[in-house]
Amino acid sequence: CGRRGALEPPGASATVPARNTAQGTPTTTAGPRTLPVSTGLGGGAPEPDPLAVRAGDELPPSALAPASGTEAPVETSRGAKRGYRIPKDPFILDPLL
Amino acid sequence: CFRPLYGPTASGESLPALLAGIQVDDIAMARDQERIGHYLRSELIFALDGSGQPGPKRYRLKLQGSESVQTPIVSTTTGRAEAGTIVGVVKYSLENLDGTKIITEGVATSTATYDRSVQRFASLRAARDAEIRLASVLADQIKTRLASVLSAKP
Amino acid sequence: QGLPGAAKPSAGKPVAGKPGDKLLVEADELIYDNDKNTVTARGNAELHYGPRTLQADRVRYDRASSRVFAEGNVRLTDQDGAVVTGEKMELTDDFKSGFIDSLRIQQTVVKKGETIRTRFSSPRGERLEGEQTSFDYGTYTACEPCRDHPEKPPLWQVRAAKIIHNNETHTIYFEDSTVEIAGIPVAYLPYFESADPTVKRKSGFLTPRFINSTALGTGLTVPYFFNLAPDYDLTLSPSFLSRQGVLGQGEFRQRLDNGSYNLRVSGIFQTTPSAFLPGPLGAGDRDFRGSIESKGRFYINENWRTGWDLVGVTDKWFLDNYRIRNQSITTDYFREAVSTAYLIGQGDRSYFEMRGYYFKGLSSFDWQKEQPLVLPVIDYDKRINGPGELGGEVRFQANITSLTREATDFQGLPRTGTYLFSPSVNGISYPLYETCTTFNRNTCLVRGLAGTDTRASAQLSWRRTFIDDLGQAITPFAYLRTDAFFVNPSLSGYQNALVPQIASVDDGFTGRVMPAVGIDYRYPFVSDFGPLGVHTLEPIAQVIARPSENRIGHLPNEDAQSLVFDDTSLFQWDKFSGYDRVEGGVRTNLGAQYSVVTASGWYANAMFGESIQIAGVNSFRRGDIANVGLNSGLETAASDFVGRVQVSPNQNISLITRARFDQADFKVNRFETGITARFAPFLPLSLSAFYSYYEAQPLLGFSHRREGITATATYNITPNWFVTGSALVDLTHYLDTRTLYSEALTSYIANPVGNLPTYQNPGRFYLSGMSVGAGYQDECTTVSLNYIVSPIATVTGVSERNQTVLLRVELKTLGEADLRQNVGTATTADGIASAH
């Protein structure tokens, strides 16, 4: 069976995905998972990863309004920019902000 | 018993000065929900310090939040929601400037309702106005909760 | 007899293969046997060769044939962390190749914060050059064995005559394989291949999805994923529906440097159109139906982004009938497909948003010509600190809205009465597009004016808070609002010519200016009751002086039709929800707020207040062409009373209730209450429930009260089993039905055509929408079953009420799909995106 993973920016050169170089087997069992709340679309995704929450990329569960969207960890607007190359050049309407 | 909130606090400092010393960081709202983040931050900045005179900052207020819409009233005949209630949830934490100590934290929740009609553009603009009202109610709630904690802090 | 070695001697020995890689051997006892030229290590022997390690009870290294024979809980750790264990192993001395008895391989991958551990096992396996491992009669699973009795079969495993795991291409091939659920064979696959967990993206079939619904029959969706490149891919998902044939769906996703977009096309030649009502009530007389959806988002720079969210459909029922979009019971009742394109900029206290909109109504009761095309609507909000001594906050807001509409949207008072269009299907007539019975000022509203209406508005405001030494917070403020209307109503076609009978709408340019000054006075008191928390009491008074609003009723009202007077709008400077109306006259808003904050995280708040029109024209008393302001509670000089009570015992639970009490007899005119709660960790339950009650508003067309409940809950019975459900109950549907029936009866008696309308009372608690789901989920499986009941049949163009069953079975690492970036998941309702 195939696997439909997330898209990477075009620059990603690694054709063969990076090997997992973790030596030995980490003892942690699979991370706890949130439960599907909407009509069974997402299969319950991992809890938001604490590092991403501290970095402001994902929302902690306590900041989630009820019954919102699929169960994947909710990205913040900052997190949504992760992985993109945000151009630095000025935009004509910049003086407005 | 009751004394003016904006008088000297338990620690002797003046509360307006304490509140004015809070710097509101950029708010991490859920993706595509940045508009309510803008109104919430702008209202909070004025609520904490209405003088508009820039001064030294002593605390940092970090906020993360999201919103969702609920439709309790629907017309089953036409299959349309006739009112929408926006639920806003914002997690706030007041920390010292370098973020090493959390002074107080909590989750502010509130709702704002708008009427919907056959005209989808009118419903859309009504939802936008409800978002702005929700932002100012949340800002007022967060300011009152911070003021209460700071005024009682020895 | 060999020389008993001292404890832990290590014999380094240069070996063929990579130069410098030595085979290091450590063991309790080392026995050198020179005649047979072997070295035997006995007692937790450990052999290292480059990155690989071999551990066993006894290892015999035959230097002549350079083979290694290991026996007794043998454990080989590969360079990428995979652990191979077995009873007996015969390997080349670089451990790359060889045979293994009762072989088990375990590989762990951490992906997006989730640890996935896969396991291979088989009685006999063979390693080929460290690249391939082949298992005879092996099994593969991603499930953890049960701790207490590991011999129990895992939840699922794939048992195959031959499994080959190629470490170079990261692919697992299964030959003559069966999928076993809890030990019971469920599916037989002669041959299939899958990516091993280290692979993020690989072409191939994704997990199939099962669907069963009244209109579609039983269906199987078999998505196939083409991994064209790391930055773009294609997913074709044909659905084989027993009653309607093949629904084809293709989704292309691409990610560029500064953004991403996707495009989804769906289409079907439906084979049983009779499942749907015939036109114009449904797509029963169509055979080809389809939709095109596209979403894009691009970052221009740090503060600016642009994008689009477009949807085109062949008919208004397609998205519902074929469940194209992920719907929940909330979004089921936003019956519109909104196409928009935007440019958004956000800086420090500044926000710019320019959008275009096209609205496609998705309910049978929507007449497309009454929906506007809005090009553009621009919102701008900028605040700065007042310069120098002025101080405070100077704010500039602007809005430009330009929209065109073909047919005027009339609404009768009361709403039910006359319809532009009421087709009848096998004798039953369905009143669809409502309009007015008589076209005059007090029996007919204009919800949307035909023609072109452009307005440009700007507002400059200043406010500053002064806190005196008594602790009073005084906030003087002033603002100047200017509006320029360029209205060109179209009086030709449809019923557009009847508008002048209702109101004389200005044609051409109209200007409106509203200067205002005011003061906001608050005097908060605080008291610390220790364990009972810090209580604050804050009286609030606001006075605003302005000239009266002019041109009421002579201007279109497109964006200020919703007027909800409650605690959130009590202290707004302008209580209208849009720029088409502006509040005038001298008005005072009075109220008080009481809050409690306890150290243990309790928060409670109550507010109560009233708004009084002191002088000038009460903008809410004289309704405009949409009667906005009437029946709102503000139309009397002294307004209704509004109040709110909120209780949040901790971070996870909050209850909010608000109400509007009649000015004269304190009767409840509007009431809403909502609870959102996550009871974890005390109770594994999270729920949200909202109830609203609106008294009748006859001047807005609502002749009877409106009442409803919406609730959603998820409860996990055990850490793995969960139940979820949501319901939407329309408590006043029986009043609607009774009104429609009596009106259908009168029109039938007037001219008896078709058959006599019948009356079935839907009951007090009518279930407008419901979805129930249950499922199981652990580290290697997700199984979820959902049953969804959609809104009433005639709205979604189906002959009987559509009930859908969705089954999802997902075996981790076998055909997974990352759904976050595809079109169907994110839904926006009224411009509010669902957090995803």
* pLDDT attached to residue A72: 67
Of B26, B31, B87, the CB nearest to A65: B87
A76 → closest Cβ in B28, B67, B68 = B28
Q: What is the CA radius of gyration of chain A?
A: 18
Which residues of B sit within 8 Å Cβ distance of A?
A: 26, 28-34, 37, 64-68, 70, 87-91, 107
Rounded to whole angstroms, the Cα distance separating C378 from C380 reads: 7
On the 0-12 / 13-18 / 19+ scale of CB atoms within 10 A, C342 is middle
- C-alpha A34: how far from its chain's center? 14
Q: Does C307 touch chain A (CB under 8 A)?
A: no
Mean pLDDT score across all residues of chain C: 89
Parallel, antiparallel or unpaired: strands B59-70 and B28-29: parallel
- Residue among B26, B34, B68 minimizing CB distance to A66: B68
Please report the residues numbered 400 through 419 in chain C whose beta carbons come closer than 8 angstroms to any beta carbon of chain B.
403, 409, 411
Q: Residues C449-460: what's their mean pLDDT?
A: 97
* Contacts of residue C326, Cβ cutoff 8 Å, sequence gap at least 6: A38, A39, A41, A70, C824, C825, C827
C195 interface with A at CB cutoff 8 Å = yes
Chain B residues touching residue A67 (CB < 8 angstroms): 68, 70
- Rounded-to-integer distance, Cα B128 and Cα C377, Å: 13
Q: Which residue of A has its CA nearest to C52?
A: A23
Flag whether residue B67 sits within 8 Å of chain C, measured between CB atoms: yes
What does the pLDDT read at residue C12?
42
Q: B135-149, C588-602, C733-747, C812-826: lowest mean pLDDT where?
A: C812-826
Q: Using CB atoms within 10 Å of the CB of residue C717, give its burial: 0 to 12 exposed, 13 to 18 middle, 19+ buried.
A: exposed
Over range C750-766, report the average pLDDT.
85
Instruction: Please say if the pLDDT value at position C301 is more than 80.
Output: yes
Nearest to B127 by CA among B80, B87, B91: B87
Contacts of C752 (CB under 8 A, 6+ apart): none
pLDDT digits (tens, 9 = 90+) for C513-533: 999 999 999 999 999 998 999
Q: Is the pLDDT of residue C115 over 90?
A: no
Q: Which residues contact C388 (CB under 8 A, 6 or more apart)?
A: none
The whole-angstrom separation of Cα C210 and Cα C773 is 14
DSSP, collapsed to helix, strand or coil, labels residue C201 as coil
Contact C676 B109 (CB under 8 A): yes
Largest CA distance in chain B: 62
Q: Residue C836 — very low, low, confident or very high, per pLDDT cuts 50/70/90?
A: low
CA atoms within 13 A on the CB side of C389: 0
- Model confidence, pTM: 0.90
Closest Cα in chain A, distance from residue C763 (Å)? 27
Read off the pLDDT of residues C50-103 as tens digits, 9 standing for 90 and up: 888 889 999 888 888 888 899 988 888 887 778 888 888 888 878 888 888 888
Interface check for C566 against chain B (CB to CB < 8 A): the answer is: yes
Count of CB atoms situated within 10 Å of the CB of C125: 26
Q: Is the pLDDT of residue C2 over 50?
A: no
Closest B-chain CA to A79: B31
Size of interface A-B (CB pairs under 8 A): 58
As a whole number of angstroms, the distance between CA C278 and CA C284 comes to: 4
Nearest of C547, C570, C550 to residue C616 by alpha carbon: C547
Residue C512 has pLDDT above 70, yes or no: yes
d(CA B136, CA C182): 55
pLDDT, tens digit (0-9, with 9 covering 90-100), for C161-191: 999 988 888 888 999 999 898 888 888 989 8
pLDDT for B78: 86
- Give residue C821's pLDDT band: very low, low, confident or very high (50, 70, 90): low
Is the separation of the CB atoms in C337 and C357 below 8 Å? no
Q: Which two tokens stand for residue C574?
A: 């302008």
* Nearest residue, CB atoms, C206 vs list A2, A19, A33: A2
pLDDT at A44 (0 to 100): 52
Rounded to the nearest angstrom, the minimum Cα separation between A36 and chain C is 8
- Give residue C819's pLDDT: 60
Given this model, what pLDDT does residue C633 score?
95
B76 close contact with C: CB closer than 8 A: yes
In angstroms, the CA C688 to CA C678 distance is 9
Residue C229's pLDDT band, with cuts at 50, 70 and 90, is very high
Put simply, the answer to whether A75 touches B29 (Cβ < 8 Å) is no
CA-based nearest residue in chain C for residue B9: C526
pLDDT at position C17 over 50: no
CA distance C652 to C672: 20
Residue B79's pLDDT is what? 86
DSSP C634-676: -SSSEEEEEEEEEEEEETTEEEEEEEEE-TTT--EEEEEEEEE
Rounded Cα gap, residues C740 and C742, in angstroms: 6
Rounded-to-integer distance, Cα C97 and Cα C100, Å = 10
Is C603 in Cβ contact with B119 (below 8 Å)? no
Given a cut of 70, the residues of chain A with pLDDT beneath it are 12-47, 67-72
Say which range, A1-10, A23-32, C316-325, C391-400, has the weakest mean pLDDT: A23-32
**Which of B33, B74, B122 has the alpha carbon at shortest distance from C334?**
B74
The ipTM, to two decimals, is: 0.91
Residues in contact with C38: Cβ distance below 8 Å, sequence separation at least 6, in sequence order: C60, C61, C62, C63, C64
pLDDT (tens place) for every residue of chain B, 154 residues total: 899 999 888 888 899 999 999 999 999 999 899 999 999 999 999 999 999 998 999 999 999 999 999 999 999 888 889 999 999 999 999 999 998 999 999 999 999 999 999 999 999 999 999 999 999 999 999 999 999 999 988 7
Report the residue of chain C nearest B68, measured CA to CA: C834
How much is the pLDDT for B60? Answer: 96
Q: Is C116 on the interface with A (CB under 8 A)?
A: yes
A76 and B29 within 8 Å at the Cβ level: the answer is yes
pLDDT band for position C113 (50/70/90)?
low
What is the sign, positive or negative, of the torsion defined by CA atoms of C711, C712, C717, C722?
A: positive
Once rounded to an integer, what is the mean pLDDT over residues C621-648?
Answer: 95
pLDDT of residue C77: 87
Give the start-end residues of each E strand in C206-258.
Answer: 209-213, 217-221, 224-229, 232-236, 239-241, 245-256
How many other CB atoms are there within 10 angstroms of residue C791's CB atom? 26
Distance from CA of B5 to the nearest CA of A (A): 29
Q: Which of C330, C465, C676 sits opposite B69 (nearest CB)?
A: C330
Is residue A41 less than 8 Å (CB to CB) from chain C?
yes
Cis peptide, bond prior to residue C531, ω within 30 of zero: no
